[in-house]
Amino acid sequence: MAPLPLHTAGPYVAAAYIAFFVIVLVYVAIMAAKLVRSEQALSELTEQVKRGRQGRAGEEDGR
Amino acid sequence: MYGKGLRPLSLITAASFALTLAAVFFWAPNDAYLGFLQKIFYVHVPLAILTLVGFVAGGLMAIAHLRTRDRRWDMRSYVAIHISLIFGVATLITGSIWARGAWGHWWVWNDPTLVSFLLVMLLYATYQPLRFAIEDPERQARYASVFAITAGAFVPINFIIVRLAPGYVHPRTLGNINGNLPGRMQVVFYLAMVSAALLWFTLWRFELTAKHVAAQMRHLRGLLGEDADPAPVRRSAAPSLTHAGNVG
């Protein structure tokens, strides 16, 4: 049997490589979304620590 | 620190993939029988091998968890199996596309290689539901480790049995009869193997870092007193590293 000509085999090869890269990209995108959520949570915690420090400083000044 | 060295690792992985793709399409010769279609081999076979090796690695990490009772090993095992499942799905998709081009069918049910790989994938597809079904984190980690070890032991046994099978359509990659690759094809195949291994390791480290950061965040919230009226812990298939000893 002769090998498939390039114009017939090409789409299959392209589809296989594209499928692989899409799967990896989707995974990375999901992980990136989780990273953004972690970053937001970190910002909230930083704000909370700052507010706590300001509150404590205010209490000490009051005394 | 899981994130340490992740950036250079990612860059090395990306460079390795670029080099592999260039070698696959511009340096490796076309196959005499399959022609250009054989290029799928360089993505499909490394993914399949890494899937199976990843499942076995998950089992070894689970052994470390049961021996040490350190929940970080459960996390490593969980992430290894998760990444391997993703690689497995990519293997099935690229394999089906190749089969359609080469044999004219998306799937061949009478081939032991294909069916056994599907069986392994279906077995591991139950891993996450199993974890999700168990609420207590300690029991979840223990049972998941037992599953990972049992299933991890099944993978090489299954592989050997398939190699010994007399009738198959799927070609053998290395060794056995007519399985050896000629010169440049073999070099490119090993290059593709290294790239796929680097990708697996990078994604494993990436996910471990993300999970570790999330766990540290939860721990920090607890230290800041947010758990005076704590919200109920959401049930999850993913391991929880909520104890201070596991987070740090």
Nearest chain A residue to B209 by CA: give it.
Answer: A35
Q: Is the pLDDT of residue B68 over 70?
A: yes
User: Per-residue DSSP letters for B192-216?
Assistant: HHHHHHHHHHHHHHHHHHHHHHHHH
Q: Kindly state the tokens that stand for B73.
A: 């090993």
The CA distance from B176 to A43, in Å, is 58
pTM of the model: 0.87
More confident residue, B131 or B246: B131
Do A20 and B43 make contact, defined as CB atoms within 8 angstroms?
A: yes
What architecture does CATH give domain B6-169+176-247? Answer: Up-down Bundle (1.20)
Percentage of chain A lying above the pLDDT 90 cut: 33
* Burial environment of residue B233 by CB neighbours within 10 A (0 to 12, 13 to 18, 19 or more): exposed
Neighboring chain A residues of B206 at a CB cutoff of 8 Å: 28, 31
Q: Does A49 touch chain B (CB under 8 A)?
A: yes
Q: Does A25 touch chain B (CB under 8 A)?
A: no
Q: Kindly state the tokens that stand for A32.
A: 């990136």
Do B93 and A19 make contact, defined as CB atoms within 8 angstroms?
A: yes
Residue-wise pLDDT tens digits, A21-63: 999 999 999 998 988 888 888 888 888 888 888 888 787 777 6
How far from B163 is each of A30, B49, B122, B154, B168, CA to CA, in Å?
Answer: 37, 14, 20, 14, 9
pLDDT (0 to 100) of residue B1? 60
Work out the minimum CA distance from B74 to partner chain A, whole angstroms. 20
Residue-wise pLDDT tens digits, B132-147: 999 899 999 999 999 9
Residue-wise pLDDT tens digits, B44-59: 999 999 999 999 999 9
Q: Does A30 touch chain B (CB under 8 A)?
A: no
ipTM for the predicted complex comes to 0.85
H or E segment to which residue A28 belongs: helix A6-62
Of B164, B188, B167, B187, the residue nearest B175 (C-alpha) = B164
At how many degrees (to 10) do helices B137-164 and B41-68 cross? Answer: 140
Helices of type H across chain B: 6-26, 41-68, 71-103, 112-125, 127-133, 137-164, 183-223, 244-247
| Residue B12, C-beta contacts closer than 8 angstroms, at least 6 positions apart | B198
Q: Kindly state the tokens that stand for B149.
A: 């070890």
Percentage of chain B lying above the pLDDT 70 cut: 87
> Are the CB atoms for B233 and B240 separated by under 8 Å?
yes
Work out the minimum CA distance from A60 to partner chain B, whole angstroms. 20
Q: Kindly state the tokens that stand for B127.
A: 């891993």
> Are the CB atoms for B197 and B72 separated by under 8 Å?
no
